[in-house]
Amino acid sequence: MSGLFRGVDHVGVGVADMEEAKAFYSRVGFSDVRFDWTGVVPGPDRQARVVMLSNPASTPVGAGSIKLVQVLDDGGTPAAPTGGGWGELGISEICLHARGVWKVHRALVDAGAQSLMEPLTAAVDPNDVSLDIAYVADPWGGKLELIEWTGLWHSLPGPARAEGVNHVAFGVADMARTREFYGRLGFTEMLFESTDFFEPMAPWYPYGPPDQHMIMLFGGQGAGIEPVVLEPEGPDCRGEWGHIGPFDFAVGVSSLERGLGELHALGVDTGEPVTIDVGGGGQWRFATFRDPDELYVTLVEPRY
Ligand SMILES: [Fe+2]
By CB atoms closer than 10 A (0-12, 13-18, 19+), residue 92 is buried
19 conformational bin, left if phi > 0, alpha if psi -120 to 50, beta if neither = alpha
DSSP codes joined into one string, 92-139: EEEEEEEESHHHHHHHHHHTTPEEEEEEEEEEETTTTEEEEEEEEE-T
- Distance (angstroms) between ligand 1 centre and the Cα of 228 equals 10
- Going from the Cα of 51 to the center of ligand 1, the distance in angstroms, rounded, reads 24
Ligand 1 center to 190 CA (angstroms): 14
The residues, any chain, with a CB within 8 Å of residue 122's CB and separated by 6 or more, are 130, 131, 133
Q: How many CB atoms lie within 10 A of CB 48?
A: 22
* Distance in angstroms (rounded) separating the CA atoms of residues 302 and 304: 6
**Helix, strand, or coil (residue 10):** strand
Tens-digit pLDDT string for the chain (304 aa): 468 999 999 999 999 999 999 999 999 999 999 999 999 999 889 999 999 999 999 999 999 999 999 999 999 999 999 999 999 999 999 999 999 999 999 999 998 999 999 999 999 999 899 999 999 999 999 999 999 999 998 888 889 999 999 999 999 999 999 999 999 999 999 999 999 999 999 999 999 999 999 999 999 899 999 999 999 999 999 999 999 999 999 999 999 999 999 999 999 999 999 999 999 999 999 999 999 999 999 999 999 9
Cβ atoms of residues 105 and 119 within 8 Å: yes
| pTM score of the predicted model | 0.94
Q: What's the longest Cα–Cα distance across the chain? A: 51
- CA 248 to centroid of ligand 1, rounded, Å: 16
Q: Report CA(152)–ligand 1 centroid distance (Å).
A: 15
CA of 231 to the centre of ligand 1 (A): 18
**What's the CA-to-centroid distance between 93 and ligand 1, angstroms?**
7
Distance 100 CA to ligand 1 centre (A): 17
Cα(145) to ligand 1 centroid in Å equals 6
Number of neighbours of residue 49 by Cβ within 10 angstroms = 16
260 membership: H or E segment, kind and range? helix 256-265
pLDDT of residue 3: 86
For residue 87, give the nearest of 13, 147, 175, 166 by alpha carbon.
Answer: 175
Convert 245-277 to b/e letters by CB count within 10 Å (16 or more is b): bbbbbbbbbeebeebbebbeeeebebbebbebe
- CA-wise closest residue to 46 among 247, 200, 221, 236: 247
Q: Ligand 1 centre from 281 Cα, in Å?
A: 35
**C-alpha–C-alpha distance, residues 96 and 59, integer Å:** 11
CA distance 54 to 26: 9
Q: Report CA(83)–ligand 1 centroid distance (Å).
A: 19
Q: What is the pLDDT of residue 209?
A: 96
Distance 92 CA to ligand 1 centre (A): 9
CB 216 within 8 A of CB 224: yes
Distance of CA 118 to the CA centre of its chain: 21
Dist CA 128 CA 121 (whole Å): 12
